[in-house]
Amino acid sequence: MTDQLDHLMEQARQGDRDACWRLIGPHRGLVYATAFGMLKNIEQAEDLLHEVLVQATASIGGLRNPSRLPGWLHTMTRNMAMDLIRREQRRRQAHAGAARQATVLPVADWTEKEHWLVTMEEAIHELPEPFRVVLALKYMNDYSCAQIAGILDLSVPAVKSRLFEARKLLRKKTAALAQARELDHHDTRTI
Amino acid sequence: MTRERFEHLLADQLSGEITAQDREELDRLVAADPALRAELAEYERQEVDLQRYYHLRAERAAVGPESIQSPAQPHVRRRRPLAWGLAAASLAAAFIGGLLLVQLDRTHRPMGGQALARVDALEGDVLVLMQGSVRALAIGDQLARSERVKVGGNGYLALRLGDGNIIEARGNTRFAIEEYHDRLAVQLDHGQLWAHLGRKPDKRFVIETDRLRATATGTVFGVQDGLAGSIVAVAEGSVSVESGSQVLALKAGEAWGNPAGPTALAQDSIDWSQYAGSLLALRSTATDPPDVPLEVAGASLATQELTSETGDAPTISDLADLLPVQTRFFLDLRDWPGIVREFQSSAYAMLAREQALQKWWTAIHGQDLVNEIEREIHLREILAVAGAVSGRCIVGVFPQHFLLLADCRHNESEVAAALGGAMVSLTDGNLEAVSRLRERMFVIDGRLVVSSSPQIAAEVIGRLASGEPSGFTEQPFYGKVTNAIQQPRLLAAADLASVVDQWLEQDPSARPFLDFSGLGGLETIVISPSFAGRGINQAARLSFRDRRYGMMNWLAEPAPMHGFGFFSSDVHLFAAAIIRSPREMFFDLLGKLIAENDQRAQAEARAFFESRPALFDSIGDEIVLGVDNPILPLPNVKLVVELASPARFALELDALLADWILRQAEVGTLAERRIETSSGIEIHTLFVDGWVIQPSWAYVDEFLVAGPGPRFVRHSIDVMRSGATIDRHPRLRNLLPTAGTPHFSLMVYQDIARAIPELLRTAMPANLRNQVAETFPDLTFLERFHAAGIAYAQAAPDRIDLYLNSPTGIDFNLGMAGPLVARWIAPHTPIGQQIDQLAEATVALEDLAAAALAFQATSGRLPASLAELTEAGLITLAPSDPFADGRPLRLVTGPAPGTILIYSIGPDGIDDQGLLTFDPAGPTTGEGDLTIMLPSPDGTPPRLLTPLTDGS
């Protein structure tokens, strides 16, 4: 298998677009999950996915060991996402006067599905970044713990532990958010 | 210890990687401790939530599990010859092993009471998700309760329930079946299902979505759920639908949606079913009118009742028969209340509820504006009557008059009362005026009649009495309209041929324009939101009297489009067109660009280009123009042109450029063509002394790619090579009516609103930003409303069909309406007024300064007063100061000998004698006067003084 990967890599280095796509294309899910886990925004994650694919295609020649491709892509995505986050922070500081307001619809207009989706979204977004990334890799791609361990350069038990800690924290946060919403809804009704 | 062990086992269980032994241990632990049991159940529910949540998020980017290869398995494997034998042996072993595993697996799956259904038929990827594990379904497999089934985009599934009934699931559907003591419930997350309950079900059968619940006994019905809402359609028997507080009964042939959806069984909801033939047969027999609802459940039910065509009730053609034959514009609101409801649940209504927007609206006293408009156009009265109408409504407009007809058979008295109230309000209770209005606004035989002409209204009464139609429906115009679209919900049409003829009659000089544009050949335009297939929310058909000509003939018939493969996924705008004859189009444009009266220049230009036939002959038919990022100081504009013969084109262009560069050198302008190589492709750049941009281009495959600099062309090539292009991105793919390469004559893609907040932040002057932030809404909320959209055209020899597809429907419309609204609203805002006044004062001061300099040129000195300028005839009247209640601008002696100051007292309204100067870069309400000193201190042309920065 290594020979085949090497062969594809050689073709990619010579500018073979198909070879590049065969190498990188299957890992779109990995890139998207990492990007979404870090950026917490679908649009930005979609944009980053494509930026990473462009960047990866341009610089794949620098990858020495093709079997490290998933980890390499994960690191690249992570670095580019961090750049984006930093840029965003600078921009927000520069335009503090026009800070973004909470993007929440009037609660009374939500459907049950929207309630559920917003609660999940808020709770997941409040999780620490490593938890968000591991959850995204697991549930967006159905990666096994061993595959995630390979991508994140962790041991399998560490991945399992991180996943479980993420679930525990998520459980607490969803419960707290649901309670807050219930109170909010109650307040709305009594006003 | 137990707790730690429980968590360890739970982690394994939730990861889907628990051993059988550990699973037994976990079962024992939870059996012994109810608290642990509850916790496990809670985590399992969370597991389903997580799968559902990330599934939704992955769907957006179309990188879900089914589209992803495992990272451990490369997409392509090329085996060496020696490995083939081993591979074949492994395959055989895997096949046999697989068969054994399948058999073993089946013996361990839930059977008997737990199995609710069996797979009868299956295509594509169909997965079952349960507690973190995933398995693929095969024909004959059984499905247990709570197992969530996911039918892939290319898939199809037919399940046979325990009682012999069948459920079909379309591709991209996700659902689970639950069994309760009183019912069998299918929980539909999204997608489309048909339930064929030919046999009496063992239990009550229910399909539930987040928005509704459909219950049936002995029937055939389908439920569809998506982000836009849920729809129930019935092919046979009856179904009870509950949605919120509403309960209604649907019969065969009917459909109902929440939010408002179709009211009849739609063809595209049937096509995918393997029982489509029998469903169609059932649909054709379902001609009975729908039942009266079980309970009164809002206006939606009244609509359904009214849209039935029974007995002697006025149908759409009955109403149209009352329109005069000379009708030129025709509006048909077949489902008026449905359209209102749809609007109320649309992105527009959501936008109106935005707090930021409401705050801004209050700040600019928007309600006062609305009140004024209401008074001006009697909006309140119109809305009162419109709100009462709950049936079809058609409007005909003809020379100088209009006629509105509405079906109000079911609430005639209510509409009559609303109309009476409106008329009293319109006339301030003047009974004589009311009686005059009654001549052209009345309710008769269940029809509301409103016309601008009493004679037309009287004709309607006569036709209703005699039963004689007007003959409008026999007109070719009406025939064109009804041929273009059947049974529309909303339709607008215009008889353009008559309009064009009338225009030419009144203004024969318009002929050249009509010939050039091809508009002279127009016959009709029909616009309808339900004109055509999947995902289309607005469409129009332009029909021509004969074959298209002029500009209208530039577009060729639809062909595959590939050119936008050079644009990255974050492109904001592009237009791709298939051109019938680039040469003709170019010469048409040339004729317009060069002054029409300059026949010689036109002939020379034509001769010049015609002497290089290869240039045009080698151009293909596809041209794409796009903007990747409008926020950059230099927008990334790209032009992609398909070339029939790239080599010939390159040769001809090289010769043309060499000639041009030589001629530039002759006139002393330095011009040079440079070539660089990127990824083996030559990028040509033209450097010309004095040009801000350097046109660059490259030949890639059969395309010419051009941009405003080499880096833009390089980027296009990188994007194309990486495959991360817009044509592969779901943003565009999801908008296309069919999969694969689009075949259009013209396509315009836009995702502009994504850039609006950023554009406002960067394009707005810094000094205004803080002030604007206080008054204007924080437009970042637009980020939640934006959505990419496409408009496309499909041309035929005698018509052009136009479609618009945007998920929220807001982008294009917002884009079109935005500038108009801004022009209308801005002058009414405090800031808008201040900016206007500042601009007015500055222009007046500059005019005055010019007059003073003219005075100096003739008399050798600057004027000492405004009166001197008036006496010299340089100004007719002293210009007024917009900040001084009509008093004139000031002219006084300047601080230095021989200088004068002309000034406005500025927005603070305080006369500082021109000595304290207003800061144009500061707030619009800042202190100081707007001052011009003459002569200018630095000898430059006169301009506003700015405050000194050292405080002196």
Residues of B in contact with A42 (CB under 8 A): 57, 60-61
The Cα of B460 is separated from the nearest Cα of chain A by a number of Å equal to: 44
Beta bridge partners of B677: B682
Nearest to B723 among A3, A21, A69 (CB): A21
Inter-chain residue contact B54 with A42, CB threshold 8 Å? no
CA B644 to chain centroid, in Å, comes to 34
- For B451, the 3-state DSSP assignment is strand
User: Looking at the complex, does the CB of residue B49 fall below 8 Å from at least one CB of chain A?
Assistant: yes
Tokens for B299, please give them: 């206006």
User: Looking at the complex, does the CB of residue A100 fall below 8 Å from at least one CB of chain B?
Assistant: yes
The Cα of A94 is separated from the nearest Cα of chain B by a number of Å equal to: 10
Residues of A in contact with B46 (CB under 8 A): 167, 170-171, 174
Q: Distance (Å, rounded) from C-alpha A21 to C-alpha B485?
A: 44
User: Looking at the complex, does the CB of residue A14 fall below 8 Å from at least one CB of chain B?
Assistant: no
The Cα of B63 is separated from the nearest Cα of chain A by a number of Å equal to: 5
Q: Interface pTM (ipTM) of the complex?
A: 0.80
Contacts 24+ apart (CB under 8 A), B360-363: B360/B775, B360/B776, B360/B777, B363/B775, B363/B829
3-state helix/strand/coil string of B539-585: EEEEEECCCCCHHHHCECCCEECCHHHHCECCCCEEEEEEECCHHHH
B628 DSSP 8-state letter: S
Residues of A in contact with B569 (CB under 8 A): 46-47, 50
For residue B894, what pLDDT is reported? 86
Residues of A in contact with B75 (CB under 8 A): 22-23, 25-26
User: Looking at the complex, does the CB of residue A2 fall below 8 Å from at least one CB of chain B?
Assistant: no
Q: Distance (Å, rounded) from C-alpha B15 to C-alpha B28?
A: 19
User: Looking at the complex, does the CB of residue B690 fall below 8 Å from at least one CB of chain A?
Assistant: no
The Cα of B241 is separated from the nearest Cα of chain A by a number of Å equal to: 17
| Residue ranges of B 821-880 with Cβ closer than 8 A to chain A | none
Dihedral sign, Cα of residue B347, residue B348, residue B349, residue B352: positive
Residues of B in contact with A173 (CB under 8 A): none
Among A140, A153, A156, the residue to mutate for chain B (most B Cβ within 10 A): A140
Instruction: Give the mean model confidence (pLDDT) for residues A52-63.
Output: 80
Q: Distance (Å, rounded) from C-alpha B919 to C-alpha B924?
A: 9
Residue type (1 letter), B39: E
Q: Is B595 left (phi over 0), alpha (psi -120 to 50) or beta?
A: beta
Answer whether B612's CB lies under 8 Å from B586's CB.
Answer: no
User: Looking at the complex, does the CB of residue A142 fall below 8 Å from at least one CB of chain B?
Assistant: yes
Answer whether B864's CB lies under 8 Å from B893's CB.
Answer: yes
Q: Distance (Å, rounded) from C-alpha A52 to C-alpha A91?
A: 22
Residues of B in contact with A162 (CB under 8 A): none
Dihedral sign, Cα of residue B57, residue B60, residue B61, residue B66: positive
| Residue ranges of B 133-162 with Cβ closer than 8 A to chain A | 134
Inter-chain residue contact B12 with A98, CB threshold 8 Å? no
Among B68, B700, B770, B785, the residue to mutate for chain A (most A Cβ within 10 A): B68
User: Looking at the complex, does the CB of residue B417 fall below 8 Å from at least one CB of chain A?
Assistant: no
Q: Which of A89, A72, A78 minimizes the C-alpha distance to A38?
A: A78
Residues of B in contact with A121 (CB under 8 A): 53
Answer whether B365's CB lies under 8 Å from B372's CB.
Answer: no
Q: Distance (Å, rounded) from C-alpha B123 to C-alpha B144?
A: 20
User: Looking at the complex, does the CB of residue A157 fall below 8 Å from at least one CB of chain B?
Assistant: no
Contacts of B20 (CB under 8 A, 6+ apart): none
Nearest to A29 among B63, B724, B784 (CB): B63
Q: Distance (Å, rounded) from C-alpha B78 to C-alpha B338?
A: 58
pLDDT at A168 over 70: yes
Inter-chain residue contact B7 with A17, CB threshold 8 Å? no
Tokens for B151, please give them: 């039918």
Contacts 24+ apart (CB under 8 A), B938-944: B942/B846, B942/B849, B942/B850, B942/B853, B943/B846, B944/B842, B944/B845, B944/B917, B944/B918, B944/B920
The Cα of B38 is separated from the nearest Cα of chain A by a number of Å equal to: 13
Chunked in runs of 10, what are the mean pLDDT values of chain B (952 residues)? 81 82 86 86 85 72 36 30 34 32 30 66 75 68 81 82 83 82 81 78 80 74 73 80 76 76 66 66 44 25 31 54 90 77 64 71 73 74 80 87 86 80 78 81 87 89 83 85 71 90 89 89 81 50 90 89 84 88 82 69 76 79 76 68 88 88 88 86 89 88 89 83 78 76 87 65 56 58 67 89 69 48 57 71 83 87 90 83 88 87 90 83 78 78 64 36
Between these two residues, B262 and A157, which has the higher pLDDT value? A157
Which secondary-structure segment (H or E) carries A51? helix A42-59
Residue with tokens 């019935």: B234
Contacts of B174 (CB under 8 A, 6+ apart): B55, B148, B149, B150, B151, B188, B189, B190, B191
Inter-chain residue contact A99 with B568, CB threshold 8 Å? no
How many CB atoms within 10 Å of residue A60? 21
pLDDT at A17 over 50: yes
Tokens for B479, please give them: 């025939």
Inter-chain residue contact A32 with B58, CB threshold 8 Å? yes
Q: Distance (Å, rounded) from C-alpha B578 to C-alpha B623?
A: 7
Nearest to B75 among A22, A97, A109 (CB): A22
Q: Distance (Å, rounded) from C-alpha B337 to C-alpha B204?
A: 33
Note if the pTM is more than 0.95: no
CA atoms within 13 A on the CB side of B55: 21
Nearest to A139 among B17, B51, B71 (CB): B51
Q: Which of B592, B587, B593 minimizes the C-alpha distance to B610?
A: B587
- For B657, the 3-state DSSP assignment is helix
Residue with tokens 């694919």: A53
User: Looking at the complex, does the CB of residue A49 fall below 8 Å from at least one CB of chain B?
Assistant: yes
What's the N-to-C CA distance of chain B in angstroms?
79
Q: At what angle do helices B34-61 and B2-15 cross, to 10 degrees?
A: 30
b/e for B123-132, b at 16 or more Cβ within 10 A? eebbbbbbbb
How many CB atoms within 10 Å of residue B764? 15
Phi, psi of B259 (to 5 degrees): -65, 175
B293 DSSP 8-state letter: P
A69-101 residue pLDDT tens: 888 888 889 888 888 887 777 666 654 443 333
Residue type (1 letter), B501: D
Instruction: Determine the residue of chain A that is closest to B243 in CA distance.
Output: A111
User: Looking at the complex, does the CB of residue B10 fall below 8 Å from at least one CB of chain A?
Assistant: yes
Widest CA span in chain B: 113
B184 DSSP 8-state letter: E
User: Looking at the complex, does the CB of residue B210 fall below 8 Å from at least one CB of chain A?
Assistant: yes
Q: Distance (Å, rounded) from C-alpha B287 to C-alpha B213?
A: 25
User: Looking at the complex, does the CB of residue B84 fall below 8 Å from at least one CB of chain A?
Assistant: no
Answer whether B232's CB lies under 8 Å from B212's CB.
Answer: yes
Q: Distance (Å, rounded) from C-alpha B507 to C-alpha B384?
A: 41
How many CB atoms within 10 Å of residue A6? 13
Answer whether B289's CB lies under 8 Å from B310's CB.
Answer: yes
Q: Distance (Å, rounded) from C-alpha A189 to C-alpha B380?
A: 31
User: Looking at the complex, does the CB of residue A141 fall below 8 Å from at least one CB of chain B?
Assistant: yes
A·B CB contacts under 8 A: 193
Inter-chain residue contact B17 with A160, CB threshold 8 Å? yes
C-alpha distance from residue B243 to each of A63, B249, B346, B577 (Å)? 56, 12, 19, 45
Residues of A in contact with B51 (CB under 8 A): 139
**Whole-angstrom Cα Rg for chain B:** 36
Q: Which of B522, B515, B582, B527 minimizes the C-alpha distance to B554?
A: B582
| Cis bond before residue B259 (omega within 30° of 0) | yes
Q: Distance (Å, rounded) from C-alpha B685 to C-alpha B692?
A: 13
Inter-chain residue contact B353 with A140, CB threshold 8 Å? no
Answer whether B942's CB lies under 8 Å from B936's CB.
Answer: yes
Tokens for B30, please give them: 């939870």
Instruction: Determine the residue of chain A that is closest to B70 in CA distance.
Output: A26
Inter-chain residue contact A56 with B7, CB threshold 8 Å? no
Which secondary-structure segment (H or E) carries B363? helix B355-363
Nearest to A1 among B74, B75, B356 (CB): B74
Residues of A in contact with B42 (CB under 8 A): 171
